[in-house]
Amino acid sequence: MHADLVFHGGSVFSGGVLSTDSVAVRSRRIVGVGDVRDLVGPETEIVDIKGRLLLPGFQDAHIHAVMGGVELGQCDLTGTTDLAEYQRRIGDFAAANPDAEWIVGGGWAMESFEGGVPRREQLDQVVKDRPVYLLNRDHHAAWVNTRALELAGITRDTPDPASGRIDRDEHGEPVGALQEGAMDLVSVPATTAEERYAGLLRAQRLLHAFGITAWQDAMVCATNGYDDISDAYLRAAETGTLTATVVGALWWDRDRGAEQIAELEAKRGAFTVGRLRCDSVKMMLDGIAENFTAAMTEPYRDSCGCVTANRGLSFIDPELLPAYVSELDLKGFQPHFHALGDQAVRNALDAVEAARRANGPSDNRPHLAHLQVVHPQDVPRFGELGATANMQPYWASHEPQMDDLTIPFLDPALAGWQYPFGDLARAGARLAGGSDWPVSTPDPLQGIHVAVNRVHHGEDYEGFLPEQALTLAAALTAYTEGSAFVNRLDDTGRIRPGFRADLVVLDRDIFAAPAAEIGDARVALTFVDGTAAYEG
């Protein structure tokens, strides 16, 4: 039987190895690698790579695809850090949507504002008659105007919630920035089912254009003030419009305990349909470093460099976490942790270790996402416990948010332990790649560029902790084989006979160019199950 497709004439990367093999595909699967001339027939389509690079399809191990797709249709502030440009876009969006009761969107950067804190007056200048609610690019804070504060009843007398902070001026008045759980104080109208479904399809087109053939959505069936986007995935899976393979990480309600596990089991069954499988559980352990809510082993500094009493927040009680994770593991769930500060990382690893002691070895493949700060004592534990390091390498670079809003406020030792991907790899940890889009670009090639260079493509900053850089082969493996492992898609992530024909052709061979040019590359072709999903 002849192949449907044959790729030849370029380089092939798979499993850490670069070759010049040809690759044959039949009936959605790879059927030959190497000399495949005997599989070529009169109906075989020949794809000449022309010296470019063929890869397994990229997979994103931590993304918010529906959220990102919805935001593409809202007031978009990404791609700039200029306050005047923010205001222009907000004003233009409000003018173009005169019937919108709320102006919502996001993408602003903390570096755009003094101290990282935006002001309501800056929004009032362009929109006064309607409430404005704009998430920052990290999605851990909201910028609101005076009208939004009034509708929410937020005044100087409103106490901070336990899980967040209302930023205030010297008189105690709210300034227009809400951190973490304080965002829940504003009742923003929920997106509609149609908006969520349209957002998913919009996101899927974009992600296929970036060579992404599968992903893990890190917030399905959300609570705690976040939109539940599960209906969009279920509709797409049931109707066949979901062309990617998606793992849904079911949200752990941080205001509840083990009683929710039975509900998670029911959701796992209800939301495992077609190309959708929901057997991961997302546990958000802490916040982010820039607003001092990431959980750290050492206290934050203040603006004068003095030690404070603040070590960040733990959204799930560390004393209870091991029991929760042990029961989830026993039920066959994959723990997926948001662990950004080194205390949160340690808490997650302690919980995984407790599950191993309680239940013995399992194939549930726990993974820790973000890993901004990892204590050196905990680096070898990833390999020892079989916990995957789920990287978002695009963040591992000098930029104003790092240099002005993070490093000065961290304990000096902690500041030197940021994004230690090189140390993790050398210690035997399995690495997976993700973006956390819409927090940052979903383009894997931009993440890979930073993983290798420790600087954003096109920037002239000094490399950030360059000893933590990865080789190109290691970074590509993380975004292919590593993420496929996390997603438990064991017939993807490599180019070998019997595996799915989820494949990507780049517009060049990035192994043949300097590392500083990785970010110049673009995806030329994306195939899902041997069918073209994107042609650039």
Which among 526, 475, 470, 476 is positioned nearest to 502, based on CA atoms?
526
Evaluate if residue 220 carries a pLDDT over 90.
Answer: yes
Evaluate if residue 338 carries a pLDDT over 90.
Answer: yes
Per-residue pLDDT, 339: 98
Do 105 and 145 form a contact (C-beta atoms < 8 A)? no
Residue-by-residue DSSP string for 224-282: TT----HHHHHHHHHHT---SEEEEEEEP-TTS-GGGHHHHHHHHHHT-BTTEEEEEEE
Task: Kindly tell me the sign of the dihedral angle through the C-alpha atoms of 58, 373, 332, 258.
Answer: negative
- The residue type of 440 is S
Q: How many CB atoms lie within 10 A of CB 159?
A: 6
- According to DSSP, the β-strands at 53-56 and 503-506 are antiparallel
For 403-451, what is each residue's pLDDT tens digit?
998 999 999 999 999 999 999 999 999 999 999 999 999 999 999 999 9
For 359-412, what is each residue's pLDDT tens digit?
999 999 999 999 999 999 999 999 999 999 999 999 999 988 899 989 999 999
Share of the chain above pLDDT 70, in %: 100
For 235-287, what is each residue's pLDDT tens digit?
999 999 999 999 999 999 999 999 999 999 999 999 999 999 999 999 999 99
- According to DSSP, the β-strands at 367-370 and 141-144 are unpaired
Confidence (pTM): 0.91
Question: In which region does residue 240 sit, left (phi positive, over 0), alpha (psi from -120 to 50) or beta (all else)?
Answer: left
Q: Is the peptide bond before 56 cis (omega within 30 degrees of 0)?
A: no
Q: Give the pLDDT mean for 484-492.
A: 98
- Token duo for residue 313: 């927040």
Average pLDDT, the chain: 96
Per-residue pLDDT, 163: 84
Can you tell me the distance from the alpha carbon of 418 to that of 451, in angstroms, rounded to the nearest whole number?
13
The C-alpha angle 60, 61, 67, rounded to 5 degrees, equals 70
Q: What are phi and psi of 468, to 5 degrees?
A: -95, 10
Q: How many CB atoms lie within 10 A of CB 392?
A: 26
- Token duo for residue 72: 């593409």
Per-residue pLDDT, 419: 98
| Three-class DSSP category at 391 | strand
Per-residue pLDDT, 139: 86
| Three-class DSSP category at 327 | helix
Q: How many CB atoms lie within 10 A of CB 38?
A: 10
| Three-class DSSP category at 67 | helix
Do 444 and 211 form a contact (C-beta atoms < 8 A)? yes
Residue-by-residue DSSP string for 27-57: TTEEEEEE--GGG--TTPEEEE-TT-EEEEP
Q: What are phi and psi of 354, to 5 degrees?
A: -65, -40
Per-residue pLDDT, 225: 81
For 498-529, what is each residue's pLDDT tens digit?
999 999 999 999 999 999 999 999 999 999 99
Per-residue pLDDT, 213: 98
Q: What are phi and psi of 76, to 5 degrees?
A: -100, 115
